[in-house]
Structure 1
């Protein structure tokens, strides 16, 4: 039986999560109270402590609170402790060969969470950032991750239907399950304009001890999608998969576990 969450701790985390998605926007005490449904009298001492520990900044002129440098320091410890530095070297090799953007992500409920990214040197490329989330059914990276689940496990992720990002997004569960079966056979996931217009993406699942723990993807604008480019991307991803899985086994990292 799951234990009930500690209310004060939950409020601290709710605050930090709200700030993390603010894109530089600050909040007044009143705005925070309304957004989180927490009385100002309860919220102020939490904010004061977070400000003292530099997890939150307070602007005296505007009266707004925003994310602080200590939150960055805390988050920056994740890559080194979870093996992302080593995996980034693998991703850089993919980008050097393909000249396209490479991303690393994990499955978090029905969404993918981007943990690392190496940008393409091309002027026209995918715009995204580490920490972004997208529906797993709409991305090649997500489908690669979902291929590690059973069909029953996949069905439990979406009780209200599959979300749609474009007119090409797969929103019917039987069609998604058919795609996942193919990914399990071929080892490569693919989507074309399901996540964003004029963009194609390939992805491979990464396994450790037989379980999918992450996935790597390469995104390519459609005007650069040739047969030669597709073959190169798939070859690079499969080779990167082998190298990344060897690193995971030898160093024992597991990212979100």
Structure 2
């Protein structure tokens, strides 16, 4: 492919990704005008790409609007990291939920953010706003800090360079304080979110390591600050994360 053809292809891919990424967790169907506003793309471009994405099942028509298509869900199930890590983690997550009666999260690091791969909710725990596929800044979450603490220095540098947005009054937004926090997490093997991702939300998290010894994810127990004692939950989540790490290292 000539350089002009590659550039056009990359442009189309980038614009298509912008359209798909414009949908939020609370969105149903969106119109061309709203997609144009959210992406900054001309309406004519959005209209043309929406037609192509719909033809490939990545978007579905809903009257004059479109919503994310089932094909995206099908493709998501094929992502090896999500499929393999989730499958290995589920038994440990279930045990952790049953032992603590709290909400258990499995997350991975994606750039400066965490992505939640799986959430097991307990009937005894209050509802929380987290969702599978949801994203949050890594520095503001227990799972994010647990992974950053055991990541290469350049990964931490990149997160800091991307900015440390404030999600609550307790979010760590100063690089030196974040680095100090990560040092403590490395020593303890457990990270805490003390209402840093949102008012009233707390969690205890521990890193999960793959067969090569590199951090591949994190487990956490989450709840409301009024009903969960972090120090009491820390040993349980640390034990579950270590057990999952051993399972991932075991010969297949």
- Superposition TM-score, scaled by structure 1 size: 0.83
Q: Determine which of 51, 56, 66 is the counterpart of 1:53.
A: 56
Structure 1 match to 2:168: 166
Partner of 1:236: 236
CA distance in 1, matches of 2:205, 2:25: 29
User: 1:27 matched to which residue of 2?
Assistant: 30
| Equivalent residue, structure 2, for 1:206 | 208
Task: Mark the CA change 1:128 to 1:150 in structure 2 (over 3 Å): closer, same or farther.
Answer: same
1:246 aligns with 2:219: no
Give the Cα–Cα distance (whole angstroms) in 2 for the partners of residues 96 and 65 of structure 1.
Answer: 40
**What does 1:83-102 correspond to in 2, within 5 Å?**
83-102=85-104
In structure 2, the residue corresponding to 1:234 is in which secondary structure?
A: helix
CA displacement at 1:223 relative to structure 2:
2.3
Pairwise CA distance, 1:117: 0.8
* Pairing of 1:98-109 with structure 2 (within 5 A): 98-109=100-111
Q: Report the equivalent of 2:180.
A: 178
CA distance in 1, matches of 2:247, 2:48: 45
CA separation of 1:123/1:98 partners in 2, compared to 1, >3 Å: closer, same or farther? closer
Could you tell me which residue of structure 1 aligns to residue 3 of structure 2? none
Give how far 1:153 is off.
Answer: 4.0
Aligned length in residues? 244
**Which residue is equivalent to 1:255?**
none
1:196 counterpart (198, 205, 211): 198
Q: For structure 1, which segment, 217-226 or 174-183, has the greater mean C-alpha deviation from structure 2 after superposition?
A: 217-226
Whether the 8 Å CA contact 1:151–1:177 is kept in 2: the answer is: no
2:17 to 13, 23, 39: 13
**5+ long unaligned stretches in structure 2:** 1-5
Which consecutive residues of structure 1, in runs of 5 or more, have no partner in the other structure? 253-257
